A and B are shown apart, each in its own frame.
Chain A
Amino acid sequence: MGKLGFVKILVIAAEAGRVTRKYPYEPPLVSSDFRGKIEIDETKCIGCGSCVLACPPNALVMSDEGEGYRVLKYFVGRCIFCWRCIDVCPVDAIKGTREFELATDNVEDLDEAVIHKRASCTECNGLYSTVKQKAYVMEKAPITENYVDKCPECRRNKLLRAFEKRRGGESLE
């Protein structure tokens, strides 16, 4: 490069033109198959927990809190955006979005929660499953209300008692 070396560079730059994106002031380059944050529809979610089992980094966690509440928690900061939860959701309550502008200065902004009411057993008043999951099972399977309204333990005891009666044995009680 001599004294006029920079002219060559100017010519090359003029041929290429301006390539820099003006991003914060223009829409981002997000393609249609980009996977972003998930959105949980609380009106559809039944609290079955299949998304929790499918989630590889445990970004979705389910826990029983307080008196008769089951909470589905979603921490975006740990999510790897694999969208497996969307594939396994039986009621299509989880939807994928193209949202990626999640930067924040407060870590609590990344939390999301769906609060479910737990069902109570008619026999022992114990808590089990959720009210909405019970309704979902009633709708999908030909099971009597009498059977679904009991917690798994009471259901098992009832079945055992029925067997004993049939075989002529004595009841547990």
Chain B
Amino acid sequence: MSRFLKKSIWIFHLNTGSCNACDIEILDVLTPFFDAERFGVKLVVSPRHADAILMTGPVTIESLPKVVNAIEAVPRPRILIAMGSCGVGGGIWHDTYSTIGGVRELLKILEKRGIVVDHVYYIPGCPIRPEAIIYAIGLIKGLVKKKAKMKVKTAE
């Protein structure tokens, strides 16, 4: 059972200037082959109906005001799932003039404007595998264990 969501997770897919590879993987997850609806995941058309926002892309400057509006419209508790290399760290566009460079910069802007995001999830991959999305859904629902861990090694 989920730790903070008692019912099915309804998701709003938010493209913030991605190359569409991640978006195609989202479609892949919804096909009968991977079938994310097993876990109650459903795409909704309005952020006001959604529990979580599935964000792809490095957040271009042009899309930033719309992204902020969409996240503000989600009822609390808000979950933001940053997908792909671009969503998490900006990808190969992390230092270009036309993007703000991923979710970490976006969270700083949201904090400045007083918009609270309760939970943030990160899914790296370029593009992410459909299984990686299902793994993340399992992580939110508490079905799988977290594998990623910070490593600091010392060379002898």
Contact = CB atoms under 8 A, between A and B. Distances in A.
B41 interface: no
A24 B134 contact: yes
A147 to B, nearest CB: 24
B95 interface: yes
Contact of A58 (B35, B95, B102, B104): B95
A11 B82 CA distance: 41
B85 A77 contact: yes
Given A101-B147, A112-B151, A78 B90 contact: yes
Contacts of B144: 24, 101
Interface string A98-119: 0111111101111111111100
Interface stretch (A42-50, A138-146, A152-160, A165-173): A42-50
A75 B126 CA distance: 14
A28 B146 contact: no
A21 B151 CA distance: 32
A77 B88 contact: yes
A80 interface: yes
Contacts of B123: 102-103
B111 interface: no
A57 to B, nearest CB: 4
B153 A115 contact: yes
Interface residues of A, number: 45
B132 A23 contact: no
Contact of B125 (A100, A113, A132): A100
A115 B155 contact: yes
B152 interface: yes
Contacts of A75: 89
Contacts of A23: 34, 131, 134-135
Nearest to A25: B143
A110 B124 CA distance: 9
Contacts of B147: 99, 101-102
B155 A132 contact: yes
A79 interface: yes
Contacts of A102: 123-125, 132, 147-148
Contacts of B124: 76-79, 102-103, 110
Interface of A: 19-21, 23-24, 28-30, 40, 42-43, 45-47, 56-59, 75-81, 99-105, 107-117, 130, 132
Given A75-B89, A81-B125, A115-B153, 4 more contacts: A30-B131, A78-B94, A115-B152, A115-B154
